[in-house]
Amino acid sequence: MTMKGFDHGNRGIGVRNHQLILPSVVCSTRVSSRIAKEMDAITFAHQHGCGFIGNDVGRITDYFAALANHPNVSSTLIVGLGCETLQGNELADKLLSKNKSTNYLVTQESGGVQGTVDSGVAAARELRTKYPTPQVVLPRLHLGIDLSNESPVVTDLVAALADVGVDVTISSSHKNSGLNFSDLMEAGVHVILSFPDSNQPASGFPLIPTINVASNSPLHLALKDDFDLFASSSVVEIIEKIYAVVNGEQTKVEVIGAGEIIAAREVRSV
Amino acid sequence: MRCEVSNQLTAFERSDGRWGLRNHVLILPLHSAFSATARKIADDSSGAVAVSHDWSGEVDGDFDRIVKTISGFAANPNNFATIFITIGTPNELAIIELAKKIGLGKFEVLNVAELGSMSKIADIGLQMANSLLKEAKLSQRISAPWSAIKLGQECGGSDALSGITANPALGVASDRLVGLGSSSVLGETTEILGAEHLLAARAITPEIGARIVETVARYERSINYEGIDMRGAQPSRGNIEGGLTTLEEKSLGAAKKAGSAQFSGVFEYADQVINPGLYFMDTPGHDTEQLTGFAAAGINIVVFTTGRGTPTGSAIVPTIKVATNTTMAIAIPDLIDLNAGTIADGIATLTDVGGELFDLILEVANGKLTKAEKGLHHEFSLSRMYNTVIR
């Protein structure tokens, strides 16, 4: 099976060609979403970047850096406010040391909201022009499995994936798929196969296509239209779906646009 | 407390006697996975608002706080109606039940498990939102008493002028509102650290004063428990760049927002603000956690002073931005509603700007849109107390 990929330089070869508009603080999430909408890029809402202390500052900075360095990302525009704890220019410097296709903007120095949106759209366009993404063959797929819910199919699936040369990272640390997604993102997986807890709905992650597999729980049966695969799906069907998604088929949650980030914190905000 | 009838203030009277200064239809997901669906409904509708959050139904040490926050937000009197998107778990239903206890709002429930999928919810939710928006347009503002105003005080991105211009101007406006019978609430526990004794001295009873002091001490203890010195993190880098030198200087300036009225009580985070008077609420300094907590407390209008400039707002509570300095007010005009920097420029007095701000609060209460509202800044953050890494 040939897999299509996008050459994202030092980030690696991705299965999606997403430009990331990364708000480095909650205060710039709205500006980021306006830029992202204009550019058909990816962004997300979050509540981090300021009013936090201790290990969380490094933890969230590393988390954002991992997002920006993800292989599915073509280029990153960081949008900061200016006075926040997590400084956009420092994050940018950290990213630039690995990936030149990075830029950052600061609302307090860009003439306000409209000014930042205008310069942001221009900066995002420039990144795309300056760093075009060649389409290539993906030599090796890295699949993440969110095992919030145990599934009898997983053992056979993992063996079959090994046979076809797919790398697999399994996260089962949390009952909360969102936290497992974050772990898998940091591991750099291209695609996530999610087995959500039987009492949890299908969900997704902003940069990484997420295939949801339903269990036979009453909730999952009731929400079957949000799931890509089911408890009855065979190993072959699951692998076919993974390849289809790698090659561009949108997952159910990608179509809806569902994808939040859940970034864990150690200490309450101040 | 006297409660004077105002000839100037108009608002939407709710069936339980509370007053809304806005008439929003709010789309509120009770699970993070439905945030995108909620946003889509709001974006496609003819004016509904939505919020996103990162709670996925966890029951941990923060559960009660999260239930209180989301239910209070849903029940805020600025909402004409709230549409909950739920999968129908008992924990999500607890939020809806608590919202109903807080206020007699119009609550609609879209149960994804009953309706089948997120895309169906998006279609049904859109029809429901548009029909509620039509209904909302039929309700009229009527003359309201001053007690209808529940003002929240906030500052963010403070600088060396905060304590001289915008914050004391807000103090003037707050004092006037409190005198007329409105409620006014100071928050940001971490940002009055070092000035709590001055606020405590203004409490109507020694017990309330002691509670202000203890609330600040309790916050610091909770951070010290983590082995972190909060005093080392304040003033923040942005504050220092703005010319603030010490935590005490920042706190003394921040406390000026509360004017000179007496403190009638202390609230826990997101407690319902019901009676007139000046209060202190235990909130983080984190701008959007505070703003969300205020909204959850039934506060229906906020004045947010800023030195460095910030665009943040609430989906349901109008947030008036007051600049502490003219340079910033000119540099980033599309997020500032009033410039208090004129006081430092020697062009206006504190009384002048306090009066202007009072007038602006009244105008905004009567329906004038703030810059944050026009820009659709609908940030929402859940305030948590505990570690989420190990959950």
The pLDDT of residue A1 is 77
A-chain residues near B86 (CB < 8 A) = none
The pLDDT of residue A258 is 84
- Based on the fold, state whether residues B117 and B149 are members of the same structural domain: no
- Based on the fold, state whether residues B194 and B304 are members of the same structural domain: yes
pLDDT, one tens digit per residue, over B194-211 is 999 999 999 999 999 999
The pLDDT of residue B391 is 56
The pLDDT of residue B42 is 97
The pLDDT of residue B230 is 82
**Amino acid identity, residue B212?**
I
CB B384 within 8 A of CB B66: yes
The pLDDT of residue B390 is 64
Above 80 in pLDDT, residue B234?
no
3-state class (DSSP) for residue B11: strand
Q: How many domains does chain B have?
A: 2
The pLDDT of residue B2 is 47
- Based on the fold, state whether residues B39 and B154 are members of the same structural domain: no
d(CA B105, CA B25): 11
d(CA B148, CA B6): 10
The pLDDT of residue B236 is 77
Instruction: Choose among B58, B241, B335: nearest Cβ to A112.
Output: B335
Distance in angstroms between the alpha carbons of the first and the last residue of chain A? 52
Architecture per CATH, A4-135: 3-Layer(aba) Sandwich (3.40)
- Based on the fold, state whether residues B150 and B134 are members of the same structural domain: no
The CB density around residue B225, as the number of other CB atoms within 10 Å, is: 9
CB contact under 8 A, A262 and B56: yes
pLDDT, one tens digit per residue, over B246-285 is 888 889 999 999 999 999 999 999 999 999 999 999 999 9
A-chain residues near B242 (CB < 8 A) = 83
B-chain residues near A204 (CB < 8 A) = 33
Sequence ranges of the domains in chain A: 4-135, 140-256
Residue B230 within any structural domain of the chain: yes
- Based on the fold, state whether residues B39 and B160 are members of the same structural domain: no
pLDDT, one tens digit per residue, over B335-347 is 999 999 999 999 9
CB contact under 8 A, B286 and A257: no
A89 touches chain B (CB under 8 A): no
For testing contact with chain A, the best of B34, B70, B288 (most A CBs within 10 A) = B288
pTM of the model: 0.96
The CB density around residue A264, as the number of other CB atoms within 10 Å, is: 20
- Residues 6 or more apart whose Cβ sits within 8 Å of residue A74: A6, A8, A14, A17, A18, A19, A101, A127, A128, A131, A133
The pLDDT of residue B237 is 77
A108 touches chain B (CB under 8 A): yes
- Based on the fold, state whether residues B210 and B120 are members of the same structural domain: no
CB contact under 8 A, B230 and A53: yes
ipTM of the complex, rounded to two decimals: 0.95
Above 90 in pLDDT, residue B242?
no
Above 90 in pLDDT, residue B105?
no
Looking at per-residue pLDDT, the higher value among B41 and B239 belongs to B41
Say whether the peptide bond before residue A196 is cis (omega within 30 degrees of 0): no
Above 90 in pLDDT, residue A245?
yes
CB A251 within 8 A of CB A211: yes
The CB density around residue B205, as the number of other CB atoms within 10 Å, is: 12
Q: State which residue of chain A sits closest to B57, comparing Cα positions.
A: A200
Shortest Cα distance from B179 to chain A (angstroms)?
31
Range of the domain at B77: 24-138
CB A41 within 8 A of CB A61: no
CATH at B104: 3.40.50
Residues of chain B above pLDDT 90, percent: 86
CB contact under 8 A, B286 and A52: yes
**Beta bridge mates, A6:** A14, A135
Architecture per CATH, A140-256: 3-Layer(aba) Sandwich (3.40)
Residue B383 within any structural domain of the chain: no
The pLDDT of residue B72 is 98
The pLDDT of residue A90 is 86
d(CA B11, CA B141): 5
Residue B80 within any structural domain of the chain: yes
- Residues 6 or more apart whose Cβ sits within 8 Å of residue A244: none
Q: Provide the 8-state DSSP code for A259.
A: -
Above 70 in pLDDT, residue B16?
yes
Over residues B128-133, the mean pLDDT reads 98
The pLDDT of residue A118 is 97
B-chain residues near A30 (CB < 8 A) = 311-312, 375-379
d(CA A52, CA A34): 26
Split at pLDDT 50, 70, 90, the class of B5 is low
CB contact under 8 A, A26 and B285: no
d(CA B157, CA B191): 12
User: For the ranges B123-137, B142-156, B219-233, which has the lowest average pLDDT?
Assistant: B219-233
Residue B389 within any structural domain of the chain: no
The pLDDT of residue A219 is 95
Instruction: Choose among A26, A87, A176: nearest Cβ to B288.
Output: A26
pLDDT, one tens digit per residue, over B347-381 is 999 999 999 999 999 999 999 999 999 999 999 99
Name the average pLDDT for chain B. 94
- Based on the fold, state whether residues B30 and B171 are members of the same structural domain: no
CB contact under 8 A, A51 and B284: yes
- Based on the fold, state whether residues B123 and B159 are members of the same structural domain: no
d(CA B297, CA B282): 11
DSSP secondary structure, B136-162, as one string: HHH---EEEEGGG-EEEEEEES--TTT
pLDDT, one tens digit per residue, over A5-16 is 999 999 999 999
Above 80 in pLDDT, residue B167?
yes
The pLDDT of residue B1 is 44
Above 80 in pLDDT, residue B291?
yes
Shortest Cα distance from B99 to chain A (angstroms)?
23
Shortest Cα distance from B188 to chain A (angstroms)?
8
d(CA A250, CA A210): 9
Above 70 in pLDDT, residue B333?
yes
**Beta bridge mates, B326:** none
**Beta bridge mates, B83:** B27, B108
Q: Sort strands A4-7 and B319-323 into parallel, antiparallel or unpaired.
A: unpaired
